[in-house]
Amino acid sequence: MSNFCYFVDLYWHQLTFKARPLPDDILLGGQTAIVTGSNVGLGFEAAKELASHELSRLILAVRDPAKGEAAKAEIARVAPKCDIQVWQLDQESWGSMVAFAERARTELDRLDITLLNAGLKRLEYTRSPTNHEAHVQINYLGTALLSLLLIEPLRRTARQTGKPGRITITASSVGFNAPVRDVLSPQGGSSIINWLDNPASFVPGESRYCLSKLLDMFWTRALASRLDASDVVVNTLNPGYCQSAFHRVDPTAEKASKYFAFTTVEGGRHLTDAAVRHPDSHGAYLSEQRIRSFSKFILSTKGEEVQQKLWDETIALFREECPEAHIGEFAKGKSSVDR
Which domains does the chain carry?
3-321 (3.40.50.720)
Q: Any idea what DSSP says for residue 133?
A: B
Marked catalytic residue, from 172, 212, 287, 295: 172
220 contacts: CB under 8 Å, gap ≥ 6? 169, 171, 234, 235, 236, 283, 285
Are β-strands 32-36 and 113-116 bridged in parallel, bridged antiparallel, or unpaired? parallel
pLDDT reported for residue 328 = 77
pLDDT reported for residue 242 = 74
Helix axes 41-52, 65-78, angle to 10 degrees: 40
Marked catalytic residue, from 72, 213, 287, 295: 213
Q: Which residues, in sequence order, are bridge partners of residue 135?
A: none
pLDDT in tens, the chain (339 residues): 556 666 667 666 767 789 999 999 999 999 999 999 999 999 999 999 999 999 999 999 999 999 999 999 999 999 999 999 999 999 999 999 999 999 999 999 999 999 999 999 999 999 999 999 999 999 999 999 999 999 999 999 999 999 999 999 999 999 999 999 999 999 877 899 999 999 999 999 999 999 999 999 999 999 999 999 999 999 999 998 877 766 666 676 666 666 577 899 999 999 999 999 999 999 999 999 999 999 999 999 999 999 999 999 999 999 999 999 988 778 765 443 333
Are 115 and 55 within 8 A, CB to CB? Answer: no
Active site residue 209: yes
- In 227-244, which positions are buried (b, 16+ CB within 10 angstroms) versus exposed (e)? beeeebbbbbbbbbbbbb
In the sheet that holds 32-36, the strands lie side by side as 83-88, 57-62, 32-36, 113-116, 165-170, 232-238, 284-287, 290-292
Contacts of 133-137 with CB under 8 Å at 24 or more apart are: 133/196, 133/197, 133/202, 133/208, 134/92, 135/208, 135/209, 135/211, 135/212, 136/193, 136/196, 136/197, 136/212, 136/215, 137/91, 137/92
Longest Cα–Cα distance of the chain, Å, equals 56
Active site residue 172: yes
pLDDT reported for residue 259 = 59
How far apart, in whole angstroms, are the C-alpha atoms of residue 212 and residue 171?
8
Active site residue 81: no
pLDDT reported for residue 193 = 98
pLDDT reported for residue 189 = 75
How far apart, in whole angstroms, are the C-alpha atoms of residue 313 and residue 192?
8
Marked catalytic residue, from 209, 212, 285, 287: 209
